[in-house]
């Protein structure tokens, strides 16, 4: 298992850079991960990230884009605006949860 130093902390990550222990996540880590992929977090981003983390805790797997839109209440179009090109992958990456099944 690899580690990466993010905001001065050793974080366990996989080969793609996704965190492997979601309990190591903090908001500071999220800000750093977002900056790594060119995203500056706004209140709208935080709403989505909190839903992703809560859903992961409840369901044991990363939510799909459809689940975030339908249950999280954020329209798909807005998710693409907040997390361009690959929203499900980017949401999970920043939220510190595994990449959703089916994401490339």
The whole model's pTM is what? Answer: 0.93
DSSP conformational letter for 83: S
Each residue's pLDDT tens digit, 20-56: 999 999 999 999 999 999 999 999 999 999 999 999 9
Average pLDDT over residues 14-25: 93
CB 30 within 8 A of CB 96: yes
Each residue's pLDDT tens digit, 65-102: 999 999 999 999 999 999 999 999 999 999 999 988 76
> What stretch of H or E contains 2?
strand 2-6
DSSP conformational letter for 95: H
CB 37 within 8 A of CB 85: no
Compute the residue count for the chain: 104
Q: How far is CA 101 from the centre of its chain?
A: 14
Active site positions, annotated: 103
pLDDT for the residue 103 = 64
């Amino acid at each position: 298992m690899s580690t990466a130093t993010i905001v001065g902390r050793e974080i366990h990550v996989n080969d793609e850079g996704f965190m492997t222990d979601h309990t190591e996540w903090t908001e500071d880590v999220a800000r750093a991960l977002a900056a790594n992929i060119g995203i500056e977090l706004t209140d709208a981003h935080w709403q989505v990230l909190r839903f992703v983390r809560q859903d992961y805790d409840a369901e044991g797997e990363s939510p799909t884009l459809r689940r975030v839109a339908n249950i999280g209440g954020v329209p798909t179009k807005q998710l693409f605006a907040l997390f361009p090109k690959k929203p499900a992958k980017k949401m999970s990456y920043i939220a510190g949860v595994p990449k959703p099944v089916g994401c490339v």
